[in-house]
Chains A and B, each alone.
Chain A
Amino acid sequence: MATTTTETVRLTIDGIPISVPKGTLVIEAARRVGVMVPHFCYHPKLKPDANCRMCLVEVEKMPKLQTSCSTLATEGMAVRTATTVVHDAHKSVLEFILANHPLDCPVCDQGGKCDLQDFSHEYTATSRFIETKRIFQKEYFSPLIETQMNRCVQCLRCVRYCDEVMDVKALAPVGRGTMTEIKSFGAHPLDCEFCGGCVQICPVGAITSRLSMYEYRPWMLKRADTVCTFCGDGCQITVQTKDQELIEVNSAQGAGRNSGDLCARGFFGFHAASHPSRVTHPLIRRNGVLVEATWEEALEFVAEQTNRLKLAHGPHAFGGLITGRCTNEELYLFQKFMRLTIGTNNLDSSARYGHVNGVQAMRMVQGTHRWTVTFEDIVQADVLLLVGTNITEANPITGLKVKEAVKKHGATLLTIEAIQAAVGTISNISNLSEQHFCVAPSQFGAAVLGLLKAVVESNYVDSAISQRASDYVLAVSQAVQQLTWNDLALDTGISRESFVQMAAALTGGRRVVALAGQTLLRSQGSYGICLNLLDLLLLTGKLTAQGCGFAPLAEENNDQGAVEMGAVAALLPGALDLTDQDARTQIARVWKEDLPLAAGATLIEMIDRAQAGIIKGLFVIGENPVGSLPPQIGAKEALGKLDLLVCQELFLTETAELAHVVLPAASAMEKAGTFTNTEGHVQAVRPAIDPVGDSRPDWEILSAISVFMGAPLEYSEAKEILKEIRAVIPGYGSLGPSPIPPAVDRVAVDRYVNEGYRQDLTTRYTLPARAMRPEGTVQLGLVQSLFHSGKLSTHSKGLLQIEPSGFLQMNPVDAARFGLETGDRVRLSNGRGEFTTTAKVFDRVPEGLAWFPDHFAQAALRLFDCAVDPDTKVPYCRTASVSVMKTT
């Protein structure tokens, strides 16, 4: 359990007095007074190993020199780091470490940022070593990571990081003595999460990235601190460039909300922006084909057509879609453009694919549109409940916080997800669970209801809420009594005892955080299930307590920002209701014009209206409905009917191919602004390179269109838009080192427990339909892969080396049933069509389910059905029942 001790000890370092919290290591205390003790094996993220002996210091009253990386500071201690004895010791240890070192600095990628170089320089180390140096044969290690074991100082930081922080355990020291080398665990090339952590943590050039091998010297590179665009975790990255070329990405130790850790997408995925197929010039459709045009021509065309259509059909003949990969400034300007310049609320963003479910549930129950907890609260939690997320793949860095809570602080992890615990090379969060319910996404609702029933029947309901809201508690109690344990067991395969056990663990927690991930947020009934999860927290007294809260995980890097900027149909900037009079007045004051009142169409509704000929013009920014929605939604036909389809894009997507005008957009590597991460932290985005080709940031394009339309929304830079955002949403984005989460709004909770819950309680507390699986079929699900993010990452050469295409992943039992082995071709079919792919037997897939990665699912989409959430209008099209047949 987390202990935050305030006890301090006083000591002196080279005569400088300092007091530090009890439990601080001497090397850390020294750093606080500005004394840097040389070290190799020490790293603040790792448990002390004291193997390199570089950090020896003198401690008064101790006979021998002590390793400062493993010695705790104690009261009255007097440490000396600068005596001759200490200096000689450092020099001699360095001489030992250098004895077998090849010193191939001229061709070493670490040269210029190497601890060994730096310390050698500091100690002007000379070597008397005239014997033979050890030599390792060069061996192939992995597609993206290179090892050069002759340079290894055997500090084991890589091995320890991979185990202690990542929980992957892919590396191991092999051999003995000087001939110890770091190898991948098992007799095969490295097969791991490719987080790049070992590359970052190696103090020398023994483990390096192949993506930037021999390409640069560190001092030639220009650096930009910005934010990763591959998921909602919002990791801070440092993008390093040379002559406008992306060379490397890393993250400084301790930097950002990720504290310097990254996942494969962040570390190896950066080349997406520089893919050769980027759209670099404006394109206009002439005689049926898209041809290059100047900006002037393209903007004029868009403006003219827009004005013409608006005059003929009014503002509601338009719609707009934007991706949550855009900056807040762009999302804000997009909705302003749609609402003001065009005059319609027909606008939506990728948050509609699932994130709005979590947000709307929070707004309903606790009156916030953000988490009331932070990553720190996850680390400090004593009980964590994860529903519908193999978090280490979907939101890897939030996943690291969960791992830290469990591995370092002993938190109890409870998980509900369609995954089986299995030892694998990519970490599987259920391996760390105290209790795990492996249920199909269609039964997440039943699993949560089981927990609610267990809470009610075991009298775990918090007495305060029983007193304050007896009607609400009674209504929930009655609703769960309608459910039988027998039905719950049939649906979920989980017994009453197990539900009670998990409910007890949850109730017993002091700091409880419930995280909901994509598998839940994109599954049918998700909004109701999120509400039920909030009921669960409310009933057990965990909603308002310090350190407790509900945390839906954002899929795209700025889905949260999209909601907060009002880039979804029913919400205004500040995530306020379209009908909120105060908000409208406030915005109208800044915009100097009134906002349209008519309710706007959401994603699917816009497609339907385009199909019906009601919407005639559509602005699409970085979204690809044709490529991401199942064909039976009819996006392609609907968009084909439009009089004007304008796409602002990086690539010629399936949607952009239908466009009348394609405007080349700059990627996040090429623009400034802010992103809001999943915990609601607003962070600065900075350009690392100039816009590729003629591309321009999306906000600039929107602004230019408005100017050409004669209704200018003019800004000289993104910062000016942020200033306006702050006028509309006072105090938006503190940009400090960590977020200040909102508190649960008590008034909103009262409104919910007195009134709000009534409108849909009965529906939400009904068991979802039991899945009937005919013989010879499996339930196919689209899943998120660790190595990809939407389709964007499929343009990244690094990530494609790890995962170049999609496989049908299937449990060994099912595979045997269909006579399938890894590598076999397999045909999936149902009433809607068929799809042939390659099978991969994977023991973590639950029986009866099969997975296919979303990122490569284009051709599989036709198998999927789509249902739209009646409340949040989220389209659910992630599962399909399919027949499986081996083929050749």
Chain B
Amino acid sequence: MLGSGGVTVMEEGTDMVWAALRLMEFFYHESCGKCSPCREGSSWLVQTMRRIVAKRGQMEDLETLVHLCKNIEGRTVCAFGDASVAPIMSTLKHWRPEYVALIQAAEAANLIKLEPAAARH
């Protein structure tokens, strides 16, 4: 499941990490910001995902992503928070190698690990 119950058809070969980021950006944008887990969590997730997609991720990010998702789920005011973590949770489950590949590419490029990405808000 990638979102809130709708069916999305994607071309074979779509970059699923990129797709998850797009969906996460949607959720980040739509989060009303009332409660902290959803507001802060969605912003955090988006930033980390952007970094991974930009080939600046690190292996620890994957664990952090899972933790963040679990910490949002079930702790927000409304069901939006629960829905917002689905794209990352399920892509991580089914397409984990794609995440790993991106991170390995980053490590190969020997980028400085902790340099934060310039994030857009």
- Residue numbers of A with Cβ under 8 A of B are 50-54, 56, 64-65, 89, 92-93, 95-97, 99-100, 128-132, 134, 153-154, 176-180
Contact = CB atoms under 8 A, between A and B. Distances in A.
A178 B33 contact: yes
14 contacts: A50-B35, A51-B36, A54-B36, A64-B74, A64-B75, A96-B44, A96-B71, A129-B44, A131-B119, A177-B31, A177-B33, A177-B42, A178-B33, A178-B121
B37 A93 contact: yes
Contacts of A52: 35-36
A53 B116 contact: no
Contacts of B76: 53
Contact of A154 (B28, B31, B39, B116): B39
A99 B44 contact: yes
Nearest to B33: A177
Contacts of A99: 40, 43-44
Given A50-B77, A53-B37, A128-B64, A100 B114 contact: no
Contacts of B60: 128
A153 B42 contact: no
Across the A-B interface, give the 5 residue pairs with the lowest CB-CB distance, nearest first: A131-B47, A92-B71, A96-B40, A177-B33, A132-B119
Nearest to B73: A64
B31 A131 contact: no
Nearest to A49: B34
B75 A130 contact: no
Contacts of B51: 131
Contacts of A64: 74-75
A131 B40 CA distance: 12
Given A93-B75, A132-B117, A177 B43 contact: yes
Nearest to B82: A64
A154 B119 contact: no
Contacts, number: 87
A177 B121 CA distance: 9
Interface in B11-38: 28-29, 31-37
Contacts of A177: 28-29, 31-33, 39, 42-43
Contact of B75 (A65, A97, A131, A176): A65
A131 B71 contact: no
A816 to B, nearest CB: 45
A95 B41 CA distance: 9
B9 interface: no
Contact of A56 (B31, B75, B121): B75
Given A53-B77, A154-B36, 10 more contacts: A64-B75, A65-B74, A92-B37, A97-B36, A128-B64, A129-B44, A131-B119, A132-B116, A177-B39, A178-B33
A177 B48 CA distance: 17
A53 B118 contact: no
Given A56-B75, A65-B74, A132-B47, A176 B117 contact: no
Given A131-B44, A132-B118, A132-B119, A178 B75 contact: no
Contacts of A89: 71, 75
Nearest to A89: B75
A460 to B, nearest CB: 49
* Residue from A52, A129, A134 with most neighbouring chain B CB atoms (10 Å): A129
A93 B114 contact: no
A51 B34 contact: yes
Nearest to A54: B36
A485 B32 CA distance: 57
Contacts of B77: 50-51, 53
A95 B75 CA distance: 13
Interface in B57-87: 60, 64, 67, 71, 74-77
A178 B116 contact: no
Contacts of B117: 131-132
Nearest to B60: A128
Given A51-B77, A53-B76, A92-B75, A178 B40 contact: yes
Contacts of B118: 132
A142 B35 CA distance: 28
A176 B40 contact: no
Interface string B78-121: 00000000000000000000000000000000000010111101
A128 B61 CA distance: 9
A154 B33 contact: yes
B76 to A, nearest CB: 7
Contacts of A65: 74-75
A89 B70 CA distance: 10
Nearest to B116: A132
A51 B81 CA distance: 13
A100 B40 contact: yes
Contact of A96 (B36, B47, B116): B36
A95 B64 CA distance: 12
A371 to B, nearest CB: 43
Contacts of A154: 33, 36, 39
**In the complex, which of the residues A51, A130, A153 has the most CB atoms of chain B within 10 Å of its own CB atom?**
A130
A388 B44 CA distance: 56
B38 to A, nearest CB: 9
A52 B38 CA distance: 10
Nearest to A128: B64
Contacts of B48: 131
A54 B41 CA distance: 14
Contact of B41 (A51, A96, A128): A96
A570 to B, nearest CB: 62
Which residue, B40, B117, B118, has most C-beta atoms of chain A within 10 A? B40
A132 B39 CA distance: 15
A270 B63 CA distance: 54
A101 to B, nearest CB: 10
Nearest to B45: A131
Contacts of B41: 96
A819 B117 CA distance: 61
Contacts of A179: 121
Q: Which of B67, B114, B118 has the most CB of A within 10 A?
A: B67
Contacts of A129: 44
Contacts of A50: 35, 77
A65 B75 CA distance: 7
Nearest to B48: A131
A734 B121 CA distance: 59
A488 B33 CA distance: 56
A98 to B, nearest CB: 9
A56 B71 CA distance: 12
Contacts of B121: 134, 178-179
A99 B119 CA distance: 14
Contacts of A134: 43, 121
Contacts of B74: 64-65
Contacts of A132: 47, 116-119
A158 to B, nearest CB: 15
A128 B48 CA distance: 11
A54 B71 CA distance: 12
A128 B36 CA distance: 16
A50 B75 CA distance: 11
A180 B29 CA distance: 13
A37 B42 CA distance: 25
Nearest to B44: A99
B37 A96 contact: yes
Contacts of B40: 96-97, 99-100, 178
Contacts of B29: 177
Nearest to B40: A96
A472 to B, nearest CB: 60
A154 B76 CA distance: 14
Nearest to B50: A131
A286 to B, nearest CB: 70
Contacts of B44: 96, 99, 129, 131
B114 to A, nearest CB: 6
A304 B40 CA distance: 76
A50 B42 CA distance: 18
A179 B71 CA distance: 21
A89 B67 CA distance: 11
A153 B42 CA distance: 15
Contacts of A180: 33, 39
